[in-house]
A and B are shown apart, each in its own frame.
Chain A
């Protein structure tokens, strides 16, 4: 299933305001049975984050040791490739999260 380039363009405008924000993990899971378009990434961690600005967001958690993921851990939002349905399609970039050390 192709993702409309127009849809990706509209979404980019929303993503911009969510980038490089700090927050904490409200909940998390590790996906072993993915949808078709995420098959090659599995297994992967997904977190629900309360951003420090009061907003909430979902995203995959990257650059993180699997055993260290826990509710309450500090993370920040980054821009990463999220979906590539086929080689001919536009690559969708979106929100992911990375852990950081709180001083």
Chain B
């Protein structure tokens, strides 16, 4: 059995005084301290990061991490666009399945605010197809195209998307590590300046800096000493075409459906057994897709059900989503996101989530997407 035994995250936001590796250093030593573990107990490190090469001209980050930590253990970097954190976690899990009695550190980090929005958008766009890049498309643009088909097919309008941001900003207001801690009104969201029609700036996750880290173990002796641990019940990855144009459908994400189905099957539970989920809400429409593709809500019903705020904290319903604030309010330092999602589930299941604690949360799910749905990673955890 593989368990997550600790979590640490830096604040997410515009952290001008900190470099990528300052953030990495804070998270590395932060999580070791949190778990009261000596660095010598760590057998390997997995690092999720997307743009160290394209934006900062910093490759070979595993060696830099070894330098920071003062170690000679194996360190690997995983890249799968916005699912880089989830990919690092998945690989770390595979490593532990193959090596019993070992302990690994998984860290995700991204530094994005040193550059102009156009430069960051160009770097992010490198994760789309060549043809998409040539036509001037961006990720907001690709999700906007997906939203257009969904809204028209199920007879919804732009206003129906706003509830996702409304809910997630409320949750973010309760998370002291979140990029944005301000509640926003539905009217502010609807009237926010357009990024890619129909998505406005308040439908989009921000450009953030941050680093998050967890420690995982398959070492029974070490686990028995840890008071707060959660079990990994399953973690599954599915992929799809990098280009949106040849997908079977674009009013949802097939890779989520495939990874989700496999993750539920392996964990031996149904969607209704989950109390908390961290979903990849890079854009408002993406959380609606996730709810339907993971089988929480029926296809085409999310536009209506989100307006009832069924998944908001203290709504009295069985499932609460994105208590961290999601990518929208907690922020989206790309490589860190997948690890922060797991960290939030860890805090919730070990009852350390403070004012955003969901009562009696026993099972949690994380959903991390790369690009417009070319990679999907779904993981399920329990106590």
Contacts and interface: CB of A to CB of B under 8 A. Distances in A.
B188 interface: no
B286 to A, nearest CB: 15
Nearest to B133: A35
Contacts of B149: 26-27, 71
A78 B121 CA distance: 27
Nearest to A49: B245
Q: Is the interface of A mostly helix, strand, loop or mixed?
A: strand
Nearest to B144: A29
B272 interface: no
A11 B130 CA distance: 10
Contacts of B133: 35
Contact of B135 (A26, A33, A59): A59
Nearest to B119: A36
B253 to A, nearest CB: 15
The 3 closest A-B pairs by CB, nearest first: A29-B144, A30-B197, A27-B145
Interface residues of A, number: 31
Contacts of A92: 134
Interface in B325-372: none
A35 B141 CA distance: 11
A55 to B, nearest CB: 9
Q: Which of A26, A39, A46 has the most CB of B within 10 A?
A: A46
Given A33-B117, A36-B119, A36-B122, A28 B135 contact: no
A57 interface: yes
Given A28-B148, A32-B193, A33-B140, 6 more contacts: A27-B145, A27-B250, A32-B196, A33-B196, A94-B134, A95-B134
* Range of interface residues on B (Cβ < 8 Å): 20 to 34
B197 A57 contact: no
Contact of A1 (B122, B132, B135, B138): B122
B118 A39 contact: yes
Interface of B: 116-119, 121-122, 125, 130-138, 140-141, 144-146, 148-149, 152, 193-198, 244-246, 250
Given A29-B197, A56-B245, A35 B145 contact: no
Contacts of A56: 245-246
Residue in A31, A38, A58, A92 with the greatest tally of chain B CB atoms within 10 Å = A58
Contacts of A27: 145-146, 148-149, 250
Given A29-B196, A48-B245, A71-B148, A36 B121 contact: yes
Interface of A: 1, 11, 26-39, 41, 44, 46, 48, 56-60, 71, 82-83, 92, 94-95
Nearest to A94: B134
Contacts of A95: 134-135
Nearest to A35: B122
B309 to A, nearest CB: 27
Contact of B245 (A32, A41, A58): A58
B134 A71 contact: no
B244 A48 contact: yes
A26 B322 CA distance: 31
A58 B152 contact: no
B134 to A, nearest CB: 5
Given A26-B149, A41-B136, A71-B148, A35 B245 contact: no
B121 A35 contact: yes
A42 B50 CA distance: 26
Nearest to A66: B197
B136 A35 contact: yes
B57 to A, nearest CB: 12
Given A36-B121, A37-B122, A39-B118, A31 B136 contact: yes
